[in-house]
Amino acid sequence: MFPTERPRRLRRTPALRRLVGETSLEPRHLVLPMFVADGLDEPREISSMPGVVQHTLDSLRRAAAEAVDAGVGGLMLFGVPRDEDKDPSGASGIAPDGILNRGLRALSSELGDTTVLMADTCLDEFTDHGHCGVLDSNGAVDNDATLARYAEMALAQADAGAHLLGPSGMMDGQVGVIRAALDAAGHTDVGQLAYSAKYASAFYGPFREAVGSSLQGDRRTYQQNPANRRESLHEVDLDLAEGADMVMVKPAMSYLDVLREVADRSTVPVAAYQISGEYAMITAAAANGWIDRDAAVLESLTSIRRAGADIVLTYWATEAAGWLRR
């Protein structure tokens, strides 16, 4: 009358559980998104993301060095310009002396090839309307005019020392246009982490504060409908055909089903972004004593890895890497 199969035998001790664990989470799997802001004398905390800050160039260098020492796999840099430097075309995102490119040069000079330096290749932080591209006469994002700006932005970021570019604007053809521009300029070794499946998510809210967004309206005409799944696979196929070196699903936690399918389909490494709203939810619940923060962080990151991500972008990268190394 007793069971002959007892799966619990392999859960009895920590050593047994470690021996048969199917999914690993290591510091090298983690990428730290970072924000560098113009005009700051000291780091400025992001109120909706407790523990995350907009950096000065000096604090950016220190935090990046700490992350690399902890063993994280890479850094993804976002620039936050002053409001007076924003314009309809996002020119300060392309200018060599714009805050993002200055930040990239600072990290490249400081860290060299000891980490993978990534750049957000998108105009939304730099436009006065907050959209990811330039607008046409009707106020809609002009896909093809935006591609020309992305090509310029990509060259500026490659010149500043980025190893990987992150085209995140969801413009049709962006990966191919950037690849052609990079190759024509001799930047054949600079790769692309394509934001292939990026959804118009409600969970981006805190990120708007993080980058000082000037967004008017929404991005539903170019980011994906959260109801769609097959569309993501089509987007991934297009980006792979255009030369993407890696592909990404964003957000991560609410789209683990999409992540699994993308991982099964992709011939290149797959990343997933644990975004600001996901960070804020766990942080807020832990602050209220409703969950064990550290355990929830590790469980969430492990779930993203289990769903198929080779790389996880997370604001907990440095902290989690320290836990994992210990």
Token match 């064990």: residue?
292
Is residue 97 exposed (0-12), middle (13-18) or buried (19+ Cβ within 10 Å)?
exposed
CB of 154 closer than 8 Å to CB of 175: no
Rounded-to-integer distance, Cα 224 and Cα 272, Å: 15
Judge contact between 246 and 193, C-beta under 8 A: yes
Let me know: does 230 contact 201? Beta carbons within 8 Å: no
Tokens matching residue 48: 């909706």
Please state the length of the chain.
Answer: 326
Active-site residue flag, 198:
yes
Q: Using DSSP, how many helices (H) and how many strands (E) does the chain show?
A: 11, 10
Choosing from 29, 149, 250, 305, the catalytic residue is: 250
CA separation for the pair 75, 64 (Å, rounded): 7
- In angstroms, the CA 178 to CA 190 distance is 10
List, in sequence order, every residue forming a beta bridge with 37; answer none if it has no partner: 80
Provide the token pair at 32.
């730290």
Listed residue (203, 285, 196) closest to 249, CA to CA = 196
The reply to whether 250 belongs to the active site is: yes
The CA–CA distances, whole Å, from 162 to 46, 155, 305, 326 equal: 25, 10, 25, 30
User: Which residue among 198, 246, 259, 312 is the active-site one?
Assistant: 198
Euclidean distance between CA atoms 296 and 232, whole angstroms: 28
How far is the C-alpha of 186 from the C-alpha of 155, rounded, in Å?
10
- The catalytic site residues sit at 198, 250
